[in-house]
């Protein structure tokens, strides 16, 4: 078949134009804006005032941003361990041949994923964690235990993290199940014939062969951890709190102002976006190095 | 069969996408036919259309009244008001829309703190209309002063739309049950009242975390003055200020005495809703709180309002909470006269009475009578000389959450003394 460069260009150019306008231009503009002071997001570049690293210095000095960064890393590390472990556990159990009703249980575990984060967050807030009438305190009351303030400043972060994990486990479980079901059966049969027990099969065969899947899920989880703005707003409506603030919610307040601090600082908001993007790139490259999949052979 | 199901799913998705992409645009097309038929001469604003960006959500009682007023305005003047209800998103999307030159003739703002951030090119100075109509006599002097003081370029950049105040909203029945016949004024008098309320087995105060910074900010303002509090928020020095230490100590004492309902500070709106359950008697909040509680809990409460307690007459004696949202006319408005008449339709006379009753706020036109739940609020708003910034304690945009966290710990009983609490505040600045 004769190649036609013109034909190829006709197909690629529209896509490139859309990509440039909707992706490259905003990214480049945001990067540039992070070094300037400007009155609004859409102000012409000619009206910007060069500020050098002032915006980045402001972020570095901001206790709220630093706390947001700490919260985000805690969500990624602690939440990641629990989310991925739980979803892997459910996947291993519910991909076993002899489990009755496994399709039903898969659907139940996956169900929170089809409900919006706002609905899940509010359900946890008002029905599970409520100090007077919540599920947990009601059950604790049956055993004579005093009501616990799950949404107090000390426990609120953990409460929010539990709700986030509840919302994502189902989806990651399904991805793991897909990975497990792709493992050839003859490999498992050979291991069984060689006398391997369930634990050995899990640790020596299943987990190594799930490296690629685990890498994918860690990437998804990184995005969830960075973009936990919705959860922050559900658990801390109206005002931001140290226990739930993340860099994106700090950026939101800086970009749009708030009742408490109406002044906006677009350049600093852009700088937060740039920093968060750099953090994601670093984390992703660490994940890629840790989970190299080219050393496996079947 | 599978192809049919796939096709049906695609159609369903397409319908959902089209529905979701629809705007909340509300176009008023109703015209009172009787009036149109009888009128033989063209109306004064025939053919004029004004686009109005409202901060209300379509379908709410206030939004319905605005639509009715727009229909009446069209029948009276021929001017079509194209109301676009943007809800809470208005604040985020409006600056970009105005800057891009979108066709917006009239728009809301949340108050003077938002007004300060506006570009002068967006707002028309309405001073000539004020002078010609005598509108200033009908509304609250403080709010007109706030308009001028916070205007990007001076003048009068809008009109008063939805006045309000923060203060103590109380269940009249619960207060009466405690034998209280007159509301106190000073902190000491309030403590006597709180003790009487506790005797009835009810907690005096509700407190939600969402309003905690404003509540403590007001206590600080009473003890130090709001300019001092703002300065402390920006630069620290809390533990060196006797007033700040005393304010924190008072709250620690209030917590220890059981003045706050069990569980306070709670996640919004759990604590304020306890008033409806008879567990608490009052809450410090804005004008919306009574309607919010009644709607959430399905009860009807006879509300009263009283000013936040004062320390004495020497610190910020003339400062109290009073604010308003405004309506503005765009500098590029195609018919400013029609826009001004539309504004007057909403904020004066019968239109204001109907609108403020629906919005559950005191009237913008002080010659109107307020709803029974807002008894005394018109006189209160007219008496306030300087507006209290309830958020003065968290004026520092870079440590708002951190400061709020320490304040929360005060009400959680973490600190033994006010000095300890203020030292924790100062530690944030290191």
Q: Where are the domains of chain A?
A: 51-290
Residues ≥6 apart with Cβ < 8 Å to B46: B78, B79
Tokens representing A198 are: 């369930």
* CA–CA gap between residue B382 and residue B139 (Å, rounded): 8
Partner residue opposite A42 with nearest CB, options B100, B113, B394: B100
Q: Residue A74 pLDDT > 70, yes or no?
A: yes
The helix or strand, by DSSP H or E, that contains position A158, with its residue range, turns out to be helix A156-181
Residue B158 contacts residue B326 (beta carbons within 8 Å): yes
Q: For residue A61, which residues of chain B lie inside 8 Å, CB to CB?
A: 398
Question: Which chain B residues touch A if contact means CB-CB below 8 Å?
Answer: 91-92, 95-96, 99-100, 110, 113-114, 116-117, 119, 209-213, 262-263, 266-268, 270, 391, 394-402, 404-405, 408-409, 412, 428
Domains of chain B as residue ranges with CATH: 22-164+323-370 (3.40.190.10), 167-320+396-427 (3.40.190.10)
* CA–CA gap between residue B401 and residue B235 (Å, rounded): 15
The rounded mean pLDDT for chain A is 89
Distance of CA B376 to the CA centre of its chain: 18
* Chain A: closest CA distance from residue B402 (Å): 6
For residues A74 and B28, the model is more confident at A74
* CA–CA gap between residue B412 and residue B406 (Å, rounded): 10
Residues ≥6 apart with Cβ < 8 Å to A44: none
| Helix (H), strand (E) counts: chain B | 18, 11
pLDDT in tens, B93-110: 888 899 888 999 999 998
* CA–CA gap between residue B357 and residue A151 (Å, rounded): 36
Quick one: pLDDT at residue A3?
64
Degrees to nearest 5, angle at CA A187 with A183 and A189 = 120
Nearest to B427 by CA among B239, B279, B223: B239
Degrees to nearest 5, angle at CA B256 with B251 and B257 = 95
Residue A1 — pLDDT band, cuts 50, 70, 90?
low
Q: Is the peptide bond before B265 cis (omega within 30 degrees of 0)?
A: yes
| ipTM, interface predicted TM-score of the complex | 0.82
Residue B391 contacts residue B234 (beta carbons within 8 Å): no
A131 contacts B263? CB cut-off 8 A: yes
Average pLDDT rounded to a whole number, residues A257-286: 86
Would you state the torsion angle of the CA atoms of residues B260, B263, B268, B270, taken in this order, to the nearest 10 degrees?
Answer: -100
* CA–CA gap between residue A101 and residue B103 (Å, rounded): 59
Tokens representing B374 are: 């807002």
Q: For residue B113, which residues of chain A lie inside 8 Å, CB to CB?
A: 257, 259, 262
Tokens representing B218 are: 């007001």
Q: Three-state SS for B257?
A: helix
Quick one: pLDDT at residue B229?
95
Quick one: pLDDT at residue B14?
80
A40 contacts B96? CB cut-off 8 A: yes
A65 contacts B398? CB cut-off 8 A: yes
A125 contacts B95? CB cut-off 8 A: no
Q: For residue B118, which residues of chain A lie inside 8 Å, CB to CB?
A: none
Q: Which of A260, A266, A269 to mutate to test the interface with B (most CBs of B within 10 A)?
A: A260
Quick one: pLDDT at residue A249?
92
* Spans in chain B with pLDDT lower than 50: 24-38
* Chain B: closest CA distance from residue A95 (Å): 27
Q: Residue A295 pLDDT > 80, yes or no?
A: no
Q: For residue A263, which residues of chain B lie inside 8 Å, CB to CB?
A: 116-117, 397
Contacts 24+ apart (CB under 8 A), B367-376: B367/B138, B372/B302, B373/B290, B373/B302, B373/B303, B374/B287, B374/B305, B375/B304, B375/B305, B376/B305
Quick one: pLDDT at residue A171?
95
Q: Three-state SS for B154?
A: coil
Please check whether residue A57 touches B, CB under 8 A: no
Q: For residue B276, which residues of chain A lie inside 8 Å, CB to CB?
A: none
Helix axes A63-74, B400-411, angle to 10 degrees: 80
Tokens representing B200 are: 């009835």
A264 contacts B401? CB cut-off 8 A: no
Residues ≥6 apart with Cβ < 8 Å to A185: none
Average pLDDT rounded to a whole number, residues A119-148: 93
According to CATH, what is the number of the domain A51-290? 1.10.3720.10
DSSP character at residue A120: H
Tokens representing A250 are: 């700090």
* CA–CA gap between residue B244 and residue B220 (Å, rounded): 6
Quick one: pLDDT at residue B37?
47
The whole-model pTM stands at 0.84
Please check whether residue A263 touches B, CB under 8 A: yes
Average pLDDT rounded to a whole number, residues A157-174: 95
| C-alpha Rg value of chain A to the nearest Å | 24
Q: How many CB atoms lie within 10 A of CB B288?
A: 15
B213 contacts A261? CB cut-off 8 A: no
Partner residue opposite B268 with nearest CB, options A153, A238, A256: A238
Partner residue opposite A40 with nearest CB, options B99, B213, B398: B99
Q: How many CB atoms lie within 10 A of CB A98?
A: 5
């Amino acid at each position: 078949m004769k190649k036609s460069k013109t034909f190829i260009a006709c197909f690629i150019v529209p896509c490139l134009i859309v990509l440039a306008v909707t992706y490259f231009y905003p990214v480049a503009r945001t990067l540039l804006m992070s070094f300037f002071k400007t009155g609004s997001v859409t102000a012409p570049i000619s009206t910007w005032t060069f500020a050098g690293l002032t915006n980045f210095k402001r972020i570095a000095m901001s206790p709220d941003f630093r706390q947001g960064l700490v919260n985000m890393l805690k969500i990624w590390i602690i939440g990641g361990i629990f989310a991925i472990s739980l979803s892997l556990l459910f996947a291993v159990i519910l991909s076993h041949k002899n489990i009755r009703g496994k399709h039903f249980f898969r659907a139940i575990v996956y169900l929170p994923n089809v409900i919006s984060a706002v609905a899940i967050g509010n359900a946890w807030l008002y029905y599970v964690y409520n100090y007077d009438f919540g599920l947990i305190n009601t059950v604790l009351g049956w055993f004579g235990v005093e009501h616990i303030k799950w949404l107090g400043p000390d426990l609120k972060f953990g409460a929010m993290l539990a709700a986030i994990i509840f919302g994502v486990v189902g989806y990651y479980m399904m991805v793991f199940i897909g990975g497990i079901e792709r493992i050839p059966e003859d490999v498992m049969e050979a291991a069984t014939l060689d006398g391997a027990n369930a634990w050995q099969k899990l640790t020596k065969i299943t987990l190594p062969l799930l490296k690629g899947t685990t890498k994918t899920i860690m990437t998804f989880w990184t995005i969830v951890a960075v973009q936990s703005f919705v959860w922050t707003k559900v658990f801390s409506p109206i005002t931001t709190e140290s226990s739930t603030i993340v860099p994106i919610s700090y950026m939101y307040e800086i970009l749009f102002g708030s009742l408490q601090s109406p002044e906006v600082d677009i350049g600093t908001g852009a700088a937060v976006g740039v920093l968060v993007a750099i953090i994601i790139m670093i984390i992703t490259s660490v994940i890629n190095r840790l989970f190299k999949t080219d050393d496996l052979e079947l | 069969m599978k192809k049919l199901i796939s096709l049906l799913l695609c159609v369903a998705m397409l319908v959902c996408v089209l529905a979701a992409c629809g705007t909340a645009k509300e176009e008023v097309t109703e015209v009172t036919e009787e009036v149109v038929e009888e009128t033989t001469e063209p109306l004064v604003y025939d053919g004029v259309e004004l686009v109005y960006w409202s901060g209300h959500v379509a379908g709410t009682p206030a939004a319905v009244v605005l639509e009715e007023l727009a229909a009446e305005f069209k029948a009276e003047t021929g001017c079509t008001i194209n109301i676009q209800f943007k809800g809470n998103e208005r604040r985020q999307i409006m600056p970009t829309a105005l800057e891009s030159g979108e066709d917006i003739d009239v728009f809301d703002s949340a108050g003077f703190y938002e007004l300060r951030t506006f570009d002068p090119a967006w707002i028309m100075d309405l001073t000539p209309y004020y002078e010609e109509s005598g509108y200033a006599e009908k509304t609250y002097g403080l709010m007109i002063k706030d308009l001028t003081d916070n205007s990007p370029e001076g003048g009068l950049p809008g009109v008063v739309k939805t006045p309000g105040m923060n203060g103590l909203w109380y269940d009249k029945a619960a207060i009466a049950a405690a034998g209280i016949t007159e509301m106190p004024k000073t902190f000491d008098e309030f403590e006597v009242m709180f003790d009487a309320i506790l005797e009835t087995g009810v907690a005096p105060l509700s407190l939600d975390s969402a309003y905690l910074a404003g509540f403590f900010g007001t206590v600080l303002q009473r003890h130090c003055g709001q300019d001092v509090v703002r300065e402390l928020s920006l630069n620290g020095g809390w533990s060196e200020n006797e007033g700040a230490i005393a304010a924190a100590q008072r709250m620690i004492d209030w917590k220890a005495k059981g003045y706050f309902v069990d569980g306070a500070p709670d996640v919004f709106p759990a604590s304020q809703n306890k008033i409806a359950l008879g567990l608490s008697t009052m809450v410090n909040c804005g004008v919306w709180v009574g309607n919010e509680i009644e709607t959430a809990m399905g009860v009807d409460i006879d509300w009263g309002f009283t000013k936040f307690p004062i320390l004495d007459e020497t610190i910020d004696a003339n400062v109290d909470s009073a604010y308003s949202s405004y309506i503005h006319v765009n500098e590029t408005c195609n018919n400013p006269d029609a826009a001004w008449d539309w504004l007057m339709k909403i904020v004066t006379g019968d239109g204001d009475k109907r609108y403020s009753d629906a919005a559950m706020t005191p009237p913008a036109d002080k010659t109107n009578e307020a709803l029974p739940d807002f008894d005394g609020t018109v006189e209160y708003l007219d008496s306030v000389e300087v507006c209290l910034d309830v958020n003065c304690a968290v004026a520092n945009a870079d440590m708002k959450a951190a400061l709020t966290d320490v304040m929360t710990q005060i009400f959680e009983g973490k600190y033994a003394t006010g000095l300890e609490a203020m030292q924790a505040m100062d530690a944030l600045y290191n």
